[in-house]
A and B are shown apart, each in its own frame.
Chain A
Amino acid sequence: MSEITENNVSTGWSPRIIAFFCNWCTYTAADLAGVSRMKYASNVRIIRVMCSGRIDPQFVLEAFAKGADGVLVGGCHPNDCHYVEGNYKMLRRYRLLQRMLSDMGIEPERFRLEWISAAEGDKVKHVVNDMVEKLTKLGPLALDQKQKDWDKEVQSLEDDVHAQQQEGAVAHA
């Protein structure tokens, strides 16, 4: 199990990636990478699911909404799914979800699907490093902070109204 540690990059910002790895293949591969002491970027928080087909698109959206700069999904290669069809379901959802995210201004590079088998520990390393590099170039998404910024305009009215009530002035009759 990878440790969750903050990456100390001198520029101060580093992408935060949420990864959903399927138990039978990718998660095992990540384990293998760890056991083999392969070094790779630690920006990734791994969540183990039993199958990539378990991944509800809501998880992906919520990850972004909560501040993830990228979401990575790892599943078994086509034909190798432990539950037969699950990875195909993930693939089908992925194709439309990625397009939809792009319609909402989230760059396609931020949402990535990879087939990684249990023996491919080094693929985990390469994929994660590659994604971190790409996202570092793209910059933060920080949707949680953006939503707070958007809502400042509502807060400003709240403050205005409050201030007016204290002064006794009237906005409009």
Chain B
Amino acid sequence: MLNNRKERWHMPKPKVAFYWCASCGGCEETVVDLAEDILGVVEKVDIVFWPVAMDFKYADVRAMPDKSITASFVNGAIRSSEQEEMARLLRQKSQFLIAYGSCACTGGIPGLANQFSRKQILDFVYQGSPSTVNESGTRPQTKFQDNGRQVYLPEFRNMVRALDQVVEVDYYVPGCPPTPNITKEAVGALLAGRLPPKGSVLAPDIALCDECPRKDSKPTNVSFKEFVRPHQKILDPSLCFLAQGVVCMGPSTRKGCTAQCPSGNMPCTGCFGPTSRVKDQGAKILSSLCANVEPKDEASIDKVLEGIPDPIGTFYRYGLAKSLLRRKVNLPAS
């Protein structure tokens, strides 16, 4: 098996595809931001599919033999039937399917929509919004007849899913977006055949605190008398956020991003996802922060916890779709 894989790398240039599902385009930007470095990559691979920059069609992909694409990097979450189809198509045609970016890995920020029903979204956008004028109650239709003309729109699903909740995924490159260095390393590892076990996340397996420039001021015994929301005080650019009473997801998030957000003087929000030893990122940070709250009685504890008014948005900002609960439980199934 291993020999086969190594052999493959000596064949003519490996074929690579980039695709985006429900994505903001930021992951594509990162690939472009490799800038001059990307030319080094482009030389070594044959890009067979990259909608944002090149003119290949779906039919071209369908015509490829199964497993003929060496690696497909798919970013974006899955919310519509078309996205599911494309995910399946690329899985069929690729040796390795790689979930690229937080949305593909864990559902991303759009995963927060799992706290709401599809109906709530449609009702607000097409009726309830303060600037929408829609007396007739028109709604977008999946099939619409206009003077004998029939037009179609795709259906979108009741919930947001990560890529591996639809197809089998081989590797994960985390981040919102993944940083150029993480991307380079991932691609480099693939090209060199240095493949970790299937299912691995291609980022270091240790918390962000390890590479954060504020590490030295991280308190060994932190005791929260209050949680301060970032806009409520001036943030010290050199001190650990936890020491300032500000919630930082660093302790529950993988490193690998070089702590970009702290370098912009804002706390980490968790986009690289948890380490391999954690099942539910939000639960872990909740556990850690709460355990270190100072008071011992309910009323005082609650007062401190008022500083975290939105645990879902704060702890599961990028990973609600892959959390243990996945979705608000009392929403309809369809």
Contacts and interface: CB of A to CB of B under 8 A. Distances in A.
Q: Please determine whether chains A and B interact with each other in the same assembly.
A: yes
B286 interface: yes
A95 B290 contact: yes
Interface string A134-173: 0000000101001101111110011001000000000101
A64 B286 CA distance: 17
A56 interface: yes
B85 interface: yes
A88 interface: yes
Contact of B324 (A61, A149, A171): A61
A136 B298 CA distance: 28
A106 to B, nearest CB: 6
A62 B323 CA distance: 10
Contacts of A64: 324-325
B333 A149 contact: yes
B184 to A, nearest CB: 33
B291 A154 contact: no
A82 interface: no
Interface string A73-104: 00000100000000011011101110110011
Main DSSP-derived SS at the A contact region: helix
Given A149-B333, A150-B159, A154-B166, A92 B88 contact: no
A95 B302 contact: yes
A141 B297 CA distance: 30
B244 interface: no
Interface in B267-313: 278-280, 282-284, 286-287, 290-291, 293, 296-298, 301-302, 305, 308, 310-312
A153 B287 contact: no
A58 interface: yes
Nearest to A146: B329
B58 A173 contact: yes
A97 B280 CA distance: 13
B158 interface: yes
Contact of A150 (B284, B308, B333): B333
B225 interface: no
Contacts of B84: 154, 157
B328 A92 contact: no
A149 B166 CA distance: 15
Contacts of A161: 85, 88
Contacts of B283: 56-58, 60-61, 97
Given A78-B297, A97-B286, A99-B305, 8 more contacts: A58-B287, A61-B323, A62-B279, A62-B324, A95-B302, A95-B305, A106-B325, A150-B333
Interface of B: 58-59, 81, 84-85, 88, 115, 157-159, 161, 165-166, 278-280, 282-284, 286-287, 290-291, 293, 296-298, 301-302, 305, 308, 310-312, 315, 323-331, 333-334
8 contacts: A93-B290, A93-B291, A95-B302, A103-B310, A104-B327, A152-B333, A152-B334, A171-B85
